[in-house]
Amino acid sequence: MSLYRTWRPLTFADLVGQDAVVRTLSAAIESGKLAHAYLFSGPRGSGKTSAAKILARCVNCALGPTVTPDNTCENCVAMLAGTALDVLEIDAASNRGIDEIRRLREAVKFAPATMRMKIYIIDEAHMLTREGANAFLKTLEEPPAHALFILATTEPEKLPVTILSRCQRYAFRRIAVPVMIDRMREIAGQEGIAVEEDALAAIAYRAEGGLRDALTMLEQLAAFSQGAPVDAAMLDLAFGSSGRSFAQALIGAIVARDPAEALRAAENAGDAGIDFQVLIRSLIAGFRNLLIARIDPNLLARDLAPDDAQRTAVAAQGLSQAMLVRALRTFGEGLALARSGGNARLELEAALLRFILTPEDPSLDALGTRVATLENAMAVSGPPLPAPALRESAAEAAPAAAHAEGVSLHQVRAAWQRVRTKVESERQPLRAVLSRAAVESVEGSSVVLKLPSNWNADLVREHAKLIEAAIAEVLGVPLQVRARVDASGFSAAMPEAPDADALFDYANERIR
């Protein structure tokens, strides 16, 4: 039998990582105030179905209702074996239609055969069809006194609000990494599996809060190791690299501002077969952990193993919050572009170079933050004699940065990706057009965009106000947008023909 089945919790005391749920359900059982319908929602492997089965035994145990079913009486044994007539487990993914729910509605009218209550555990409840959910609603509205419903789902938002409002809701949390490590260590000891601490931590990270997934991996590694101690390297051999180690290498290169090393780390990840969207998410998670550690290291207790949390806290002290926030913004934009159909590797490499080669955030907001930080430092340490003049100069310099004449071509090109992201978030059809636009020059109060065809240029001119607003928001500078067609790639003897994507976008805009 699989480890996760062998070690499935039999009482609420065995249910790890869900203290709030256990406390509330135990209080309801002890007070005799059970509801007629419960909704257990949360990520996979967090204990929803196990809790539903425990609750069923608490209600129907021969000694019950009790918080601690004996699991040895006739009723408990039948429920553990799955042969109890009065406890029905229904997979909503397979029985999701109106006909199946109608049969349930007819069966629920009859009293329990041998037990105290008739209990229906409906797994993956969000898979019910709309018609099936509507049919089930009638039963929830007027349930018989002998019936209790427990719905389990990973996606409660897909259930109709009419069903949600008739259930007591319990949110199961992702199981904290240290809790999972402790539980796996205990089970490995009982099963005689030799496993190193770094392997336990690596399994917990891969499981992403699901203890069932963690135990499945532990069992597979025990077979893979053939009796040898399980270590983290063995985990990579058995399941492939997760991307976490490559993300750490990328973070090291980014902090050292070494673009060559960053690109080399990305190439190594590609050679190892890492999905680049997964790698970007791991990179964002790494910077998120550093930012959290910079603010309050204690907040990492749930997400990281103790040793990793300590190392992250030490590493974060040498980094500024502004730098970490900019990293999250930069790579978050890269992930959004990769998801929207771009080349994920190209978007990662572009984000890496954009972040490393731009030493500071060029936006006006960042300038204002640096000026405010400088003034606060002066106020704390006691400003020197020329400090008033310095503050006046800074105050004059900040507004001056808002004038278009103070913006360089390099600044506009560095900020262009963020401008694109803002424009495309409001007008998605412009994505194909802006991907072909190149910032050619800054002339006075205008930025000149070079485009390959009149079709593209027409769309840019039509939406110039939207692009100009995005530029003003990102750079803090009002710039007019001018489009210039570079027709050098077209034959003079032939009329210009747009590419399919540009024509499609152009037609869409005309229809709108």
- The string of pLDDT tens digits covering residues 391-437 is 444 444 444 333 445 678 888 888 888 889 888 888 887 887 888 88
CATH number, domain with residue 456: 3.30.300.180
Name the more confident of 193 and 395.
193
- The answer to whether residues 184 and 155 belong to one domain is no
Domain boundary, last residue among 152, 171, 190: 171
Say whether 192 sits in a helix, a strand or coil. Answer: coil
Is the per-residue pLDDT at 365 higher than 70? no
Q: What pLDDT is attached to residue 78?
A: 92
Question: For position 44, what pLDDT does the model report?
Answer: 87
pLDDT class of 448 with cuts at 50, 70, 90: very high
Asked if residue 155 and residue 74 are part of one domain, the reply reads yes
Q: Which pLDDT does position 286 carry in this prediction?
A: 92
24 with 125, same domain: the answer is yes
176-188: average pLDDT: 91
Mean pLDDT score of the chain: 82
- Looking at residue 372, its pLDDT comes to 52
What 3-state class would DSSP assign to 484? strand
Q: Are residues 90 and 16 in the same domain?
A: yes
Q: Which pLDDT does position 511 carry in this prediction?
A: 44
Among residues 131, 127, 157, 138, which one has the least CA distance to residue 42?
Answer: 157
Instruction: Name the pTM for this structure.
Output: 0.62
Taking only the tens place, the pLDDT of each residue in 100-110 is: 788 888 888 88
Domain boundary (171, 190, 205) is at 171
Among 125, 152, 171, where does a domain finish? 171
Q: Please state the rounded mean pLDDT for residues 301-323.
A: 87
Q: How confident is the model at residue 385 (pLDDT cuts 50, 70, 90)?
A: very low
Q: How many domains does the chain have?
A: 5
- For 171, list phi and psi in degrees, rounded to 5: -95, 115
Answer yes or no: do 18 and 159 share one domain.
yes
Domain identity same for 224 and 284: no
Mean of pLDDT values over 16-32: 91
How many Cα neighbours within 13 Å face the side chain of 432? 17
Residue 387 has pLDDT above 90, yes or no: no
Question: How high is the pLDDT of residue 361?
Answer: 53
Which amino acid appears at position 353 of this protein? Answer: L
Q: Flag whether pLDDT at 333 surpasses 80.
A: yes
Between 32-41, 179-188, 312-321, 428-437, the lowest mean confidence (pLDDT) is in: 428-437
Q: Are residues 15 and 156 part of one domain?
A: yes
CA pair distance 434, 426, nearest whole angstrom: 13
Q: Does 149 lie in the same domain as 34? A: yes
Q: pLDDT value at position 371? A: 55
DSSP summary character for residue 35: -
Which whole number is the average pLDDT over 485-497?
48
CATH number, domain of 210, equals 1.10.8.60
Measured CA to CA, the distance from residue 219 to residue 22 in angstroms comes to 27
Q: Give φ, ψ of 195 to 5 degrees.
A: -140, 135
Give the pLDDT of residue 381.
Answer: 52
Q: How many C-beta atoms surround the C-beta of residue 65 within 10 A?
A: 17
81-95, 114-128, 376-390: least confident range: 376-390
Q: How many CB atoms lie within 10 A of CB 46?
A: 26
Average pLDDT over residues 265-289: 90
Same domain flag for 105 and 145: yes
**Quick one: CA dihedral 267, 270, 274, 280, positive or negative?**
positive
Please tell me whether residues 198 and 95 are part of one structural domain. no
Q: What percent of the chain has pLDDT over 70?
A: 85
For helices 197-207 and 306-316, what crossing angle results, to 10°?
80
We report the CATH number of the domain holding residue 257 as: 1.20.272.10
Q: Say whether pLDDT at 501 is over 50.
A: no
**pLDDT surpasses 50 at 145:** yes
Residues 442-460 have a mean pLDDT of 87
Please give the Cα distance from 188 to 457 (Å, whole number). 65
Length of the chain equals 512
Cα 442 to its chain centre, rounded Å, is 39
Q: Dihedral angle at the C-alpha atoms of 343, 348, 354, 356, nearest 10 degrees? A: -160
- Going by their DSSP bridges, the two strands 87-91 and 446-451 should be labelled as unpaired
Q: Do 330 and 355 touch, CB atoms closer than 8 A?
A: yes
Number of alpha carbons in the 13 Å side-chain half-sphere of residue 466: 16
- Same domain (yes/no): 342, 435: no
State both tokens at 235.
């985990």
Q: Which domain holds residue 211?
A: 177-239
> Could you tell me which residues come within 8 angstroms of residue 512 by beta carbon, excluding any fewer than 6 positions away?
none
% pLDDT > 90, the chain: 26
Q: Which CATH number do you get for residue 125?
A: 3.40.50.300
pLDDT band, residue 507 (cuts 50/70/90): very low
Q: Is 407 helix (H, G, I), strand (E, B) or coil?
A: coil
Alpha-carbon gap, residue 169 to 150, rounded angstroms: 10
Q: Are 311 and 283 in contact (CB under 8 A)?
A: no
Q: Is the pLDDT of residue 364 over 50?
A: no
The conformational region for residue 208 under phi > 0 = left, psi -120 to 50 = alpha, else beta, is: left
Mean pLDDT, residues 181-187 taken together: 92
On whether both 233 and 129 belong to a single domain, the answer is: no
Q: How far is CA 17 from the centre of its chain?
A: 20
